[in-house]
Amino acid sequence: MSEPLVLWDLEVAPDWVDYNGHMNDAAYALVFSRAGDRWMERIGLDAETRQASGYTLFTLQIMLHYLNEAKLGAPLRVVGRLLEFDAKRARLWMEMRSPHDGPAVAATEQLYLSVHQGETTRSAPWRDETRALLEAMARDHAALPVPPQAGRGVSLKRG
């Protein structure tokens, strides 16, 4: 059975706790951003390859869903699954679980653009290696259920 990728196991750090006594909303974005960097390693865009090839990802859009509080020291696990991709964009879903095998305390949907930074910085089709890895990942993740919140906008209406 296919499973989401385990991207990062960590704990809520003291710097991330705000005046509400829980992890600040911006800290969730930080954790998901760092987890996204780890996902890049899974698609052939680790730091060394980025440096050598000039290929990288720019973020176009991020949705964050806050589902429960996370307190200082709480164990967190970030898992990810590819929703879809095209010639130069990819849509990634990530959940932050606490404890590691517990329920999601937050989820995010992120839209990335393949970019080449050379003499100019411009969007560019995936490198062949990245494209092959995305294809394999999409096949592996096709059996996972699509999260009900995927694609949804911000609304005062529930459900």
Chain residues binding a copy of itself by CB under 8 A are 19-21, 24-26, 28-30, 32-34, 36, 47, 50, 56, 58-66, 69, 84-86, 89, 91, 109-111, 115, 117, 121, 150-156
Residue closer to a copy of itself, measured from CB, 20 or 128: 20
92 vs 12, 14, 66, CA distance in Å? Answer: 23, 28, 17
Nearer to a copy of itself, 10 or 62 (CB): 62
CB nearer a copy of itself, residue 1 or residue 27: 27
Report how far apart, in Å, the C-alpha atoms of 156 and of each of 59, 106, 141, 147 are. Answer: 26, 18, 31, 19
Secondary structure class of 41 (helix, strand, coil): helix
In angstroms, give the least distance from the CB of 1 to a copy of itself. 26
DSSP annotation of 89 reads E
Question: CA geometry: angle at 104 spanning 98 and 75, to 5°?
Answer: 15
Shortest CB 100 distance to a copy of itself, Å: 22
Cβ nearer to a copy of itself, comparing 1 with 142 = 142
CB of 5 to a copy of itself, least distance (A): 19
- Which residue bears the tokens 């090839």? 53
